[in-house]
C-alpha cells in the first residue's frame, strides 16, 4: 500500500501500462486544467488520465506533444481551467474530537478535499485500551478516506505510578506490540511524555525502541536547545505543538518536521504559516489535531489552513505541496501526494476566489482572496457527499456494531449520583468563611489559573458562591465502577443557574460536571447516564439538551449536520444559563487534564500541576 503503484497481479500492471500508452481508453480524463507538478513546484497546463484508481498519464501542453494525440477517456471532464492538486493529508488528527465515527468523519472531510488522515486514536484508547485501538482500526478499514493510524504512546497522560487519576486503560509498551506490524499503522503517536523520554523512563524507552523502524510522532510544546536535540536523537520526526514561528523554526532546523495545526481550540496557522516557502514546502505538513464538527462544517478542514496561507499571499504551489507531498514523504506514503503516473488518483479541482473588477467589470480570480474546492476525487472517483451519507447511515458494522465491540456493557459505569454526592466537606472546626483553592478558567485556553477564594461554610460542608461565579466542579470515575468522586470549585463559566455534564474529559474521559446547585449537577449526571455518555445541559426551569455519544461516550454515528445542530442547541441553553465561554464543553473537558498547568481536577483530587501533586480544596 505504501509503494508507488505496487501491483498485485501482472494483468493489473499490464492493463495500467496499456491505458498509460493510450492503447485502451482510460476510465477518466480530466482536461483543460493546471495540474500541480510537485516535483518542480509549478502548475502545468494540460490534462491527466486516470485508470483503476491511479493516475496513468499526465500531459503538459508546453512539452513535446505525443504523436498519438490526447488521451481518450470513458468519461472526460472539462476542468474549465481549474487547478488540479493532490488530495490534502491531515498529518495529525484525533477523529474522536469530531465527535463522529470514521464513517461520519469522512462524510464531513472528504468534500473539503482531505483524502487521507493520520489518526491518533488516543481518546478511545484512554477509555477502552487495546480494544479501543482495535476498534479504531476496524472502524477505519476500507473507507473511501484513507485512514492511517499511529498507536497512542501515552495512555493515560500521566504515569500510573503517580496516582493522579483513574483512566479507562493503561497501555504499557508490551500492550502496543500487537499493533507494530499492522499495515495501516505508521508508527507511534505523539510522545507527550517528553520528560519521560529525556529522563530515560523505561517504558517510554521500550515504546521508542519497539516502534523505532516506523515513525515516531512528537508533541513537545516549548522544548528547545539541548532537550530538543535529545528529543530528535530519540528518533522523533514531527511536532504539531509549536505556537511561535521561532519555536517552529528551531524544531524544523533540528529535523523535527513541523505540522502546522488549526484546530477548534488550538489555532497556530496565522503564526506559523510564514515558515512555508519553496524549501519547506517539502518538510512542513498541515494538521487539524482536534476540530469539532461545527468548525469543519463552517470553516473546512485542512482546506482552512490552505485558505489562510493563500490570503497571506503565499504561493499556491507551496501550500498545496505542504498539504500533500510533504506529509506523504514524511510518513513514507509513496503512493500519494503527487499528480504523476503511478500515484493514487486522489486529487482536488480548486480555483482561486474572485472579485468584481472595478475597471473592467469582470470577475478577477486571485489566490489572495482564498480558494474554493470545486470537486474532489478519491482513487479516481468523484466524491459524492450524499453517497457517503447513505453509506454511513446504513453501515451498522462501522457504527452500532462497533459499539458492541467496544462496550461489553455501558459506557458509563458509575453509581447514580444524588445531590449528596457533591458535598464538599469542611475541615472539622472550620469557621463560617473558609479559604479554598479555585480553578480559574481562561477563555480560549486549556491552561488554568490557580486561584483562591473565600466560601461560606456551616462547619460540615463548604458552599459554592454562584453570584460570585464560584461554582462546584466534580469528576466522577466512570470506567471501573469505583464510585470515586472529587468535587472542588471553579471560576469562569459564569453560569447563573444550571449545570453542564460530559463524558468527554481529556485524557481519561471520566464524567465531569459543573453547576450552580448540587441538585442540578446530580440531574445533569443522571441525564448523562441515561444517554450513556455525551454532553448534557440542564437548566433550573427543567429544560435540558443532550447530545448522546454512544461510542465510548465520545463519538456518535449520527449525521454530522444533526450533531452540529445538537451542539448548537446545547450551547444556546448553556448561554441561557448564563455561561460566558465561547466553547463551554471544550473548556470543561480539558479541566481534568493533569499535565497542563496550573490547577486541574481528576477523580482522585485537585492537582497542582506545577508540583504534580494532589492538594486540598480547603486552605
Q: Binding a copy of itself by CB under 8 A: which of 20, 127, 147, 579?
A: 20
Cα 307 versus chain centre, distance = 19
Residue 240 in contact with a copy of itself, rule: CB under 8 A: no
271: helix, strand or coil: helix
Q: Largest Cα–Cα distance of the chain, in whole Å?
A: 97
Q: Which of residues 358-397 bind a copy of itself (CB under 8 A)?
A: none
Residue 274 in contact with a copy of itself, rule: CB under 8 A: no
Q: Which of residues 296-335 bind a copy of itself (CB under 8 A)?
A: 317, 329, 332
Residue 468 in contact with a copy of itself, rule: CB under 8 A: no
Q: In angstroms, rounded to a whole number, what is the distance separating the alpha carbons of residues 584 and 160?
A: 29
Residue 34 in contact with a copy of itself, rule: CB under 8 A: no
Q: Binding a copy of itself by CB under 8 A: which of 162, 180, 245, 249?
A: 249
Q: Are 241 and 220 in contact (CB under 8 A)?
A: yes
Q: Which stretch binds a copy of itself (CB under 8 A): 19-27, 136-144, 443-451, 470-478?
A: 19-27
Q: Binding a copy of itself by CB under 8 A: which of 142, 225, 409, 542?
A: 225
Q: In angstroms, rounded to a whole number, what is the distance separating the alpha carbons of residues 598 and 602?
A: 13
List the grid coordinates of 335. 503512493
By beta-carbon proximity to a copy of itself, the closer residue of 226 and 410 is: 226
Q: In angstroms, rounded to a whole number, what is the distance separating the alpha carbons of residues 494 and 516?
A: 10
| DSSP string over 155-211 | SSSS-GGG-----S----GGGGGGGTT-TTEEEEEEE--HHHHHTT-HHHHHHHHHT
Residue 561 in contact with a copy of itself, rule: CB under 8 A: no
| Nearest approach, Cβ of residue 4 and a copy of itself (Å) | 5
Q: Binding a copy of itself by CB under 8 A: which of 205, 413, 497, 618?
A: 205
Q: Binding a copy of itself by CB under 8 A: which of 342, 352, 440, 597?
A: 342
10 Å Cβ neighbour count for 14?
11
Residue 45 in contact with a copy of itself, rule: CB under 8 A: no
Q: Binding a copy of itself by CB under 8 A: which of 159, 170, 243, 283?
A: 283
List the grid coordinates of 125. 484508547
Q: Binding a copy of itself by CB under 8 A: which of 27, 33, 44, 556?
A: 44
Q: Binding a copy of itself by CB under 8 A: which of 25, 32, 53, 60?
A: 60
| Nearest approach, Cβ of residue 40 and a copy of itself (Å) | 6
Strand segments (E) across 183-320: 185-191, 215-218, 236-239, 257-261, 284-287
Residue 340 in contact with a copy of itself, rule: CB under 8 A: yes
Residue 72 in contact with a copy of itself, rule: CB under 8 A: no
Cα 315 versus chain centre, distance = 26
Q: Which stretch binds a copy of itself (CB under 8 A): 77-85, 133-141, 163-171, 207-215?
A: 207-215
Q: Binding a copy of itself by CB under 8 A: which of 234, 304, 470, 601?
A: 234
Q: Alpha-carbon torsion 273, 274, 277, 283, what sign?
A: negative
By beta-carbon proximity to a copy of itself, the closer residue of 66 and 582 is: 66
Residue 257 in contact with a copy of itself, rule: CB under 8 A: yes
The length of the chain is: 619
| Nearest approach, Cβ of residue 463 and a copy of itself (Å) | 46
Q: In angstroms, rounded to a whole number, what is the distance separating the alpha carbons of residues 575 and 252?
A: 42
Distances from the Cα of 367 to the Cαs of 307, 358, 572, 585, in angstroms? Answer: 9, 18, 36, 36
Residue 245 in contact with a copy of itself, rule: CB under 8 A: no
Q: Binding a copy of itself by CB under 8 A: which of 163, 212, 274, 396?
A: 212
Residue 480 in contact with a copy of itself, rule: CB under 8 A: no
Residue 64 in contact with a copy of itself, rule: CB under 8 A: yes
Q: Binding a copy of itself by CB under 8 A: which of 106, 280, 587, 602?
A: 280
Closest CA to 90 of 368, 300, 385, 318: 300
By beta-carbon proximity to a copy of itself, the closer residue of 3 and 543 is: 3
| Nearest approach, Cβ of residue 155 and a copy of itself (Å) | 21
Residue 29 in contact with a copy of itself, rule: CB under 8 A: no
Phi-psi bin for 183: left (phi > 0), alpha (psi -120 to 50), beta? alpha
| Nearest approach, Cβ of residue 193 and a copy of itself (Å) | 13
Strand segments (E) across 317-404: 347-352, 354-356, 363-365, 371-378, 381-382
List the grid coordinates of 389. 451519507
Q: Binding a copy of itself by CB under 8 A: which of 39, 410, 444, 562?
A: 39
Residue 581 in contact with a copy of itself, rule: CB under 8 A: no
# residues contacting a copy of itself (CB under 8 A): 83
Q: Are 448 and 600 in contact (CB under 8 A)?
A: yes
Q: Are 74 and 28 in contact (CB under 8 A)?
A: yes
Residue 425 in contact with a copy of itself, rule: CB under 8 A: no
Cα 453 versus chain centre, distance = 36
Residue 609 DSSP code: T
Q: Which of residues 159-198 bind a copy of itself (CB under 8 A)?
A: 197-198
| Nearest approach, Cβ of residue 6 and a copy of itself (Å) | 4
Residue 616 in contact with a copy of itself, rule: CB under 8 A: no
| Nearest approach, Cβ of residue 619 and a copy of itself (Å) | 34
Q: In angstroms, rounded to a whole number, what is the distance separating the alpha carbons of residues 510 and 495?
A: 22
Q: Are 398 and 95 in contact (CB under 8 A)?
A: no
| Nearest approach, Cβ of residue 53 and a copy of itself (Å) | 12
Distances from the Cα of 178 to the Cαs of 95, 136, 183, 579, 590, in angstroms? Answer: 22, 14, 12, 45, 30
By beta-carbon proximity to a copy of itself, the closer residue of 116 and 236 is: 236
Amino acid at each position: 500500500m505504501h509503494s508507488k503503484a505496487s501491483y498485485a497481479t501482472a494483468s493489473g500492471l499490464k492493463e495500467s501500462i496499456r491505458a498509460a500508452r493510450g492503447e485502451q481508453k482510460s476510465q477518466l480524463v480530466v482536461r483543460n486544467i493546471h495540474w500541480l507538478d510537485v516535483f518542480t513546484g509549478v502548475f502545468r497546463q494540460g490534462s491527466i488520465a486516470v485508470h483503476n484508481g491511479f493516475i496513468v498519464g499526465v500531459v503538459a501542453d508546453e512539452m513535446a506533444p505525443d504523436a498519438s494525440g490526447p488521451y481518450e477517456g470513458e468519461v472526460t471532464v472539462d476542468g474549465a481551467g481549474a487547478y488540479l492538486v493532490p488530495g490534502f493529508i491531515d498529518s495529525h488528527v484525533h477523529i474522536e474530537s469530531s465527535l463522529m465515527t470514521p464513517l461520519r468523519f469522512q462524510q464531513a472531510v472528504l468534500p473539503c478535499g482531505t483524502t487521507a488522515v493520520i489518526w491518533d486514536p488516543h481518546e478511545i484508547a484512554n477509555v477502552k485500551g487495546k480494544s479501543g485501538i482495535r476498534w479504531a482500526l476496524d472502524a477505519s478499514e476500507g473507507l473511501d478516506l484513507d485512514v492511517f493510524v499511529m498507536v497512542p504512546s501515552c495512555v493515560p497522560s500521566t504515569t500510573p505510578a503517580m496516582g493522579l487519576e483513574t483512566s479507562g486503560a493503561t497501555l504499557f509498551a508490551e500492550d502496543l506490540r500487537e499493533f507494530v506490524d499492522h499495515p495501516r499503522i505508521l508508527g507511534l503517536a505523539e510522545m507527550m511524555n517528553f520528560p519521560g523520554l529525556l529522563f530515560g523512563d523505561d517504558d517510554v524507552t521500550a515504546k521508542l525502541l519497539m516502534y523505532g523502524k516506523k515513525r515516531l510522532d512528537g508533541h513537545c510544546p516549548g522544548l528547545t536547545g539541548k532537550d530538543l536535540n535529545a528529543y530528535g536523537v530519540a528518533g522523533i520526526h514531527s511536532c504539531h505543538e509549536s505556537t511561535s514561528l521561532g519555536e517552529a523554526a528551531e524544531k524544523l532546523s533540528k529535523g523535527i518536521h513541523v505540522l502546522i495545526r488549526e484546530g477548534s481550540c488550538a489555532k497556530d496557522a496565522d503564526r506559523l504559516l510564514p515558515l512555508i516557502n519553496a524549501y519547506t514546502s517539502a518538510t512542513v505538513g498541515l494538521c487539524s489535531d482536534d476540530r469539532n464538527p461545527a468548525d469543519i462544517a463552517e470553516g473546512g478542514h485542512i482546506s482552512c489552513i490552505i485558505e489562510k496561507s493563500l490570503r497571506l499571499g503565499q504561493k499556491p504551489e507551496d501550500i498545496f505541496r505542504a498539504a500533500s507531498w510533504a506529509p506523504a514523504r514524511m510518513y513514507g506514503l509513496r503512493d500519494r501526494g503527487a499528480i504523476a503516473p503511478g500515484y493514487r488518483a486522489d486529487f482536488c479541482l480548486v480555483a482561486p476566489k474572485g472579485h468584481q473588477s472595478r475597471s473592467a467589470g469582470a470577475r478577477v480570480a486571485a489566490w489572495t482572496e482564498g480558494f474554493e474546492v470545486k470537486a474532489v476525487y478519491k482513487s479516481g472517483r468523484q466524491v459524492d457527499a450524499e453517497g457517503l451519507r447513505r453509506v454511513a447511515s446504513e453501515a451498522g458494522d462501522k457504527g452500532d456494531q462497533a459499539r458492541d465491540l467496544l462496550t461489553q456493557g455501558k459506557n458509563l459505569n458509575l453509581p447514580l449520583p444524588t445531590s449528596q454526592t457533591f458535598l464538599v466537606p469542611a475541615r472539622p472546626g472550620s469557621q463560617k468563611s473558609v479559604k479554598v483553592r479555585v480553578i480559574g478558567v481562561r477563555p480560549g485556553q486549556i491552561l488554568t489559573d490557580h486561584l483562591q477564594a473565600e466560601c461560606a461554610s456551616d462547619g460540615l460542608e463548604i458552599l459554592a458562591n454562584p453570584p460570585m461565579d464560584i461554582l462546584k466542579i466534580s469528576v466522577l470515575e466512570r470506567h471501573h465502577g469505583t464510585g470515586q468522586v472529587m468535587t472542588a470549585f471553579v471560576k469562569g463559566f459564569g453560569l447563573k443557574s444550571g449545570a453542564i455534564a460530559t463524558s468527554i474529559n481529556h485524557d481519561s474521559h471520566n464524567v465531569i460536571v459543573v453547576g450552580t446547585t448540587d441538585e442540578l449537577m446530580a440531574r445533569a449526571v443522571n441525564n448523562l447516564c441515561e444517554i450513556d455518555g455525551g454532553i448534557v445541559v440542564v437548566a433550573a426551569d427543567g429544560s435540558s439538551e443532550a447530545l448522546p455519544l454512544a461510542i465510548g461516550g465520545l463519538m456518535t454515528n449520527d449525521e454530522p449536520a444533526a450533531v452540529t445542530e445538537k451542539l448548537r442547541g446545547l450551547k444556546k441553553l448553556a448561554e441561557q444559563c448564563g455561561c460566558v465561554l465561547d466553547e463551554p464543553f471544550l473548556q470543561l473537558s480539558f479541566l481534568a487534564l493533569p499535565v497542563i498547568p496550573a490547577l486541574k481536577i481528576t477523580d482522585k483530587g485537585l492537582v497542582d500541576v506545577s508540583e504534580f501533586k494532589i492538594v486540598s480544596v480547603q486552605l
